Amino acid sequence: MDIKNGLSGLVTAAAFSVCLFAFPGLSGAETLWDEQPAVVEFSVPVERVEKASISEDGLLWIVLDDQGRTELHEMTRANLGQPVQIVMAGQVVLRFTVTTELESGRLRVQNPHQGLIEALEAFL
């Protein structure tokens, strides 16, 4: 008897799941097909770096020069609420959703790629 009830529940759950896919008007189903927002890519030339350092816990800290700070600030102001990725030396160094304008020009990179560290060697 328990097996029969268990199978009935499984069949009901499976049928409901199929309905969600087949009828996007049902609550929750429409989110399955929502397009993801485009990611804004912001390239920072190595020349925009003022200084860089690696902390004891392995974080790479990058401080941008005045022009880099201004460009980063303008990009974040223009893309509030949008997903962005910051590219430097051909590597995506940060990926985040902009929640506030960034004015400091300081970037914190977790687990920096060796190619990025090599590109910033002159600033370390």
Domain locations in the chain as residue ranges: 2-32, 40-123
* pTM (two decimals): 0.69
Domain 40-123 = CATH 3.40.47.10: no
* Rg of the chain taking only CA atoms, in angstroms: 23
In the chain, % of residues over pLDDT 70: 71
Residues in the chain, total: 124
Half-sphere exposure of 78 (CA within 13 A, CB side): 10
Task: Provide the pLDDT for residue 58.
Answer: 93
Lowest mean pLDDT among 22-26, 29-33, 57-61, 62-66: 22-26
User: What is the distance between the alpha carbons of residues 12 and 21, in angstroms, rounded to a whole number?
Assistant: 15
Most confident of 9-18, 35-44, 74-83: 74-83
Task: Provide the pLDDT for residue 5.
Answer: 53
More confident residue, 69 or 26: 69
Average pLDDT over residues 12-24: 46
- Long-range contacts of the stretch 7-15 (C-beta < 8 A, 24+): none
